Structure 1
Amino acid sequence: MSWFIPFILASSALILLLVWYSFRQREKKLIRSLHTLLEEAKNGQLTIHKFQEGDYASLENDFYNYLKQSELSAEMLQEQKQVIQTLISDISHQCVTPIANILLYAQLLEEKQTVPPAEIRLISQQSQKLDFLIQSLVKMSRLESGTIAPVTKQQPITPLLHSLALQFQSKADAKEIRLAIDPTSALAKYDLKWTSEALANILDNAIKYSPNGSQIELSAESYQLFTKIEVKDQGIGISEAEIPHIFQRFYRSAEAAEQAGVGVGLYLARQIVEAQGGYIKVTSQVGAGSTFALYLPNEIYQD
């Protein structure tokens, strides 16, 4: 009987080995199946697999159902975006002629002087505000849907800053604000038209919320991966609690309520910069001004 105990031990070890091997095989099969489901979900080709009863099959089935619901949710979200984009495009198309007519009639009234100038200016200002809102909605819709994509190339920053300063010089002069451009040889990979629009929205706010006689600095500095463009003002500043919200659509702080605006400029600026592979950072102190920093990729980062 001396051989019996070793035989039992060897048999037990063999059984444990077989159980462990079976477990590992089922585990590998489950992992392969889950990987297959993930790949199919990423490629938009999620299909029903033949599931069997058991804990592993239950997990696999639950995972499939989760991915399927996520896929359906993404499809519904895309359809909703398309409906909204179509609606905005239709509304904007229908509004172009009425807004143009209102502006024309306001100009005619001003020439005839049959209405007090103050009322005419109000008609013109509100019409321009409506036109700006419609155009902004169209841009937001097209950027979000990918209909419009920035075309970037490596180019210097200095011409961009000088063009921006020239564009806003008269508005700055009206408040005796000095636009200072720091000399720079910085380069970045960006779309000139869209980046100009993003910076214009930021500079417009800087002038709007800065006191008379103050200064706004425009500068740029290159790093290894990104080039930073800064717009630094001496305005009313932004509280720390509000900074996470200022890039939301139609967000307007209580301090900004007295100034004209619709709350889409900063949202558009962020969308434009992110569409180029960049990002925006804000540092601010209430009563001491704000600094908006746009980080645009360099050529080396894009390649």
Structure 2
Amino acid sequence: MKRKTANWLSAAAAAAGFAGCLFVNVTAALILLGTAAAVFMIQLLAHHSQQKEITQICDYIGEILRGAETVQFSSFEEGEMSILASEIRKMTIRLREQNAQLREEKQFMKESLEDISHQLRTPLTSMMLILGMLRKPDLPKQTRMEQVQELFSLLARMQWLIETLLSFSRIEAGAVQFREETVDCAAMIRAALEPISIALELKDIAVNVQIEGNPHYIGDLSYSVEAVGNVLKNCMEHTPEGGTITVAAQENPIYAGILITDSGAGIAQEDLPHIFERFYQSSDFAKKGFGIGLAFARKIVTAQHGSLQVRNAQPHGAQFDLRFYKTVV
């Protein structure tokens, strides 16, 4: 509307000028008339071209809304329409990326729910069988006590799995605020060993702790204990009776490092690239747990600007390398 008004005002001004010049000089009047006509035609053509470009952009937007993936805006090379087309193209790319991310998250949630259901189904089935056995009136007292103990063990495993999954989800959602405090590695390792000390004793597994100097770093003590505890628990599960777990801690100008080495059979080469994946269970090594502890440990360590890697030790066993960096890397 504004452009049409401007065109009519230009035409009126040209007519007034032509009338004025006609009384003074006919040649000047004709020149003015020709110039005004040329300007009017240029504006008319520009307006028509812009309308055509706007219609084309609207058609492209319609194709995008219908799910087209190959819409090109290259025909707009300069001017205001080019800027508009560029912004629409950027917005389209961002929307496509967000849509792809939403699809991935939806698929991940679906797979996670399936994995969780599978993980809970196994202990629940065992619990149902145990409860059915406990209902027998002639069940020997010793057998009854053993089954009750197994029932408590299954409940504890389920509780650990649920709590770990909840903590995992909170960290992934960015809902956890990690504390920044000075963490003494020696004290942290002692705290991580405490929950499994009885299990280690029952399996006659010796733990050798080697602390070099006074290693420490800035992080969250509580979550760090949980991460190291999960790694130690994994090592315990894969160390035979009478075996050894070695925990060595040291510090350098770049990071505070903790090496945890067990005397088990080690990790199969095909498992090494996947050992930190959630619910990974494809071999005898991975099938001894839920497949969540190591993934959770790495998530905690990386959230504190650290790293957690694994390799096979020589002559046998697995070695976990935890590093808490002094600066973000």
Q: Normalized against structure 2, the TM-score is what? A: 0.60
Q: Distance in 2 between matches of 1:158 and 1:59?
A: 57
On the 8 A contact 2:211/2:250 being kept in 1, the answer is: no
Aligned with residue 66 of structure 1, among 93, 96, 101: 93
Which deviates the most, 186-195 or 280-289?
A: 280-289
**2:303 equivalent to 1:279:** no
Match of 1:170 in 2: 198
1:136-189, Cα deviation, whole Å (9 max, x unpaired): 111111111011132122232111122223332221111111111112311111
Aligned length: 231
Hey, what does 2:76 align to over in structure 1? 54
Residue 221 of structure 1 pairs with residue 243 of structure 2: no
CA contact 1:283–1:291 (8 Å) conserved in 2: yes
Partner residue of 1:196 out of 225, 244, 256: 225
How far apart are the structure 1 equivalents of 2:194 and 2:183? Answer: 19
Return the offset for 1:227: 1.2
Structure 1 position 150 matched with structure 2 position 175: no
CA contact (8 A) 1:270 1:280 kept: yes
SS where residue 211 of structure 1 aligns? coil
> For 1:18-57, what aligned pairs fall within 5 Å after superposition?
53-54=75-76, 57=82
CA distance in 1, matches of 2:141, 2:315: 42
Contact 2:207 2:245 in 1 (8 A): yes
Within 5 Å, give how 1:92-111 maps onto structure 2: none
Q: 2:183 touches 2:220 (CA, 8 Å); kept in 1?
A: no
Q: Which residue of 2 aligns with 1:179?
A: 207
Query: How much does 1:119 deviate?
Result: 2.4
Unaligned runs of at least 5 residues, structure 1: 1-50, 92-97
Tell me whether 277-286 or 53-62 shows the greater mean CA deviation: 53-62
SS in 2 for 1:255: coil
Distance 1:233 1:153 in 2: 29
The aligned counterpart of 1:266 is 294
Higher mean Cα deviation, 133-142 or 113-122? 113-122
Give the SS at the match of 1:195. Answer: helix
CA displacement at 1:245 relative to structure 2: 0.6
Unaligned runs of 5+ in 2: 1-72, 118-123
What is the CA–CA distance in structure 2 between the aligned matches of 1:236 and 1:207, rounded to whole Å? 12
User: With CA pairs under 8 Å and 6+ residues apart, which has the higher RCO, 1 or 2?
Assistant: 1
**Is contact 2:267-2:285 (8 Å) kept?**
no
Q: Name the CA distance, whole Å, in 1 between partners of 2:226 and 2:153.
A: 21
Q: Distance in 2 between matches of 1:277 and 1:258?
A: 29
Report the residue type matching 1:165 in the other structure.
L
Q: Which residue of 1 aligns with 2:239?
A: 210
Output the CA distance in 1 between the equivalents of 2:274 and 2:280: 7
Q: Could you tell me whether the CA contact under 8 Å between 2:271 and 2:283 is conserved in 1?
A: no
Deviation of 1:65 after TM superposition, in Å, equals 1.9
In structure 2, distance between residues paired with 1:288 and 1:113 = 43
Q: Residue 178 of structure 1 contacts residue 214 of structure 1 at CA under 8 Å; is this kept in 2? A: yes
Q: How far, CA to CA, are the matches of 1:143 and 1:200 in structure 2?
A: 18
| Identical amino acids, percent of aligned pairs | 23
CA distance in 2, matches of 1:289, 1:54: 63
Q: Please provide the CA RMSD for this pair.
A: 3.6
Cα deviation per residue 1:61-82 (whole Å; 9 max; x = unaligned)?
544421232244456777x59x
Question: Which has the larger Rg?
Answer: 2
Partner of 1:245: 274
SS in 2 for 1:130: helix
